[in-house]
């Protein structure tokens, strides 16, 4: 299964992608996480990406597209993958379409009030790279692997506002996947487990078609 997760920042795409990855044994490809790793390792890509990410803006197309192309051509992606945070606009959606056919574009939606509430308690694990939350952590550590957590620089309220306005999922991306007959949407207001139950019912349907 080749899956694309769409949705506003902070809707829980990363969390759901992490669960799908484990349950269906598919690689979880988060463009944001790849950029963060490059920033941490002070690579050339990381230096360029940081200047955009810190402002809440998108990293330029040519860098992001190349990164995704290289990643999905790797051996572990031959039976499928979950893309989290890509594509973010119609140019990226068309580029991805030129590389491969997607089985499901699933929009994980959430109201703006809830997004701001969730992002203010979001933390990232520096060990497993998965998102966590002040409510889920155990003894101040990641509840999944016990790693140290940190707050993303771009989860500051002033950057969140820019990201919400500049990085909304555009209607033309939704229409693009609707026309291909692979678009589905769920609401992620409920707790993670209930949201995952909705995700799973859609995945199983696609898997059996």
- Does the annotation mark 88 as catalytic? yes
- Helices in the chain by DSSP H: which ranges? 13-24, 31-40, 44-53, 61-72, 90-99, 112-120, 157-166, 171-179, 192-208
Q: Taking the CA atoms of the chain, what radius of gyration do you get in angstroms?
A: 16
Q: Is 90 in the site for ligand AMP (CB under 6 A)?
A: no
- Please list every residue from 133 through 172 that binds ligand AMP, using CB under 6 A: 154, 163
**Residue for token digits 């992001």?**
64
Q: Pick between residue 13 and residue 195 the one whose CB is nearest to ligand AMP.
A: 13
Of 11, 205, 170, 191, the residue nearest 91 (C-alpha): 170
Q: How far apart are CA 126 and CA 143, in angstroms?
A: 12
- Does the annotation mark 71 as catalytic? no
- Does the annotation mark 161 as catalytic? no
Q: Is 18 in the site for ligand AMP (CB under 6 A)?
A: no
- Please list every residue from 19 through 78 that binds ligand AMP, using CB under 6 A: 31-32, 35, 52-53, 56-59, 64
Of 37, 41, 35, the residue nearest 58 (C-alpha): 35
- Does the annotation mark 163 as catalytic? yes
Query: Annotated catalytic residue: which of 152, 156, 178, 180?
Result: 152
- Helices in 25-57 by DSSP H: which ranges? 31-40, 44-53
Q: 190-209 mask for ligand AMP (x: CB under 6 A)?
A: --------------------
- Does the annotation mark 123 as catalytic? no
Interface residue list for ligand AMP (CB under 6 A): 9, 31-32, 35, 52-53, 56-59, 64, 85-86, 88, 92, 154, 163
Active site residues: 13, 88, 122, 152, 163
């Amino acid at each position: 299964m080749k899956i694309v997760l769409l949705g506003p920042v902070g809707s829980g795409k990363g969390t759901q992608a992490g669960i799908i990855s484990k349950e269906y044994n598919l690689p979880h490809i988060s463009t944001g996480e790849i950029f963060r790793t490059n920033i941490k390792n002070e690579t050339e890509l990381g230096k360029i990406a940081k200047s955009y990410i810190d402002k809440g803006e998108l990293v330029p197309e040519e860098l992001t597209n190349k990164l995704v192309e290289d990643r999905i051509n790797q051996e572990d992606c031959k039976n499928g993958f979950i893309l989290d945070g890509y594509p973010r606009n119609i140019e990226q959606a068309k580029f991805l379409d030129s590389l491969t056919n997607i089985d499901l574009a699933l929009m994980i939606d959430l109201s703006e009030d809830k997004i701001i509430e969730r992002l203010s308690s979001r933390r990232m694990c520096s060990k497993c790279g998965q998102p966590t939350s002040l409510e889920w952590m155990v003894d101040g550590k990641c509840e999944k692997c016990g790693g140290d957590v940190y707050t993303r620089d771009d989860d500051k309220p002033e950057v969140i506002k820019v990201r919400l306005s500049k990085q909304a999922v555009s209607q033309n991306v939704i229409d693009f996947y609707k026309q291909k007959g692979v678009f589905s949407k769920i609401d992620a207001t409920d707790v993670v487990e209930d949201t995952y139950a909705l995700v799973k019912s859609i995945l199983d349907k696609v898997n059996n078609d």
